[in-house]
Amino acid sequence: MAIDDELSEREVALAAAYALQEKAIAVAQAETVLYVENDVLLRKEPDQPPVFVKQLVGRTPNLTEHMLQRRTFKIKKRF
């Protein structure tokens, strides 16, 4: 992979992130949306402050760091 390919992929990713951000802002100004901020589920209606819905539990913030330190890990399927 050449450096030019990496730069163009980065530019595409930034453009996609910007487009998603703009769309999310437009939808939030027109409709009711749910979003997560600091492990709290919030509901936001147009021209209203955010309303607390639920505290999310069971998430381990350092799980990503733990998984990156290990070379292999197992994923268990739950049915």
Give 30-72 pLDDT, tens digit per residue. 999 998 888 889 999 998 999 999 988 876 767 666 666 666 6
Q: What angle do CA 65, 66, 67 make, to 5 degrees?
A: 95
Assess if residue 74 is contained within a domain. Answer: no
Distance of CA 4 to the CA centre of its chain: 28
pLDDT at 39: 82
Residue 60 counted as domain residue? yes
Please report whether residue 75 resides in a domain. Answer: no
For residue 22, pLDDT beyond 70: yes
Number of domains making up the chain: 1
How far is C-alpha 68 from the geometric centre of its chain's CA atoms? Answer: 19
pLDDT in the model for residue 1: 46
pTM: 0.53
| CA-wise closest residue to 32 among 52, 54, 48, 55 | 48
- Residue 66: both structure tokens together: 């733990």
The pLDDT value recorded for residue 58 is: 76
Q: How far apart are CA 59 and CA 66, in angstroms?
A: 13
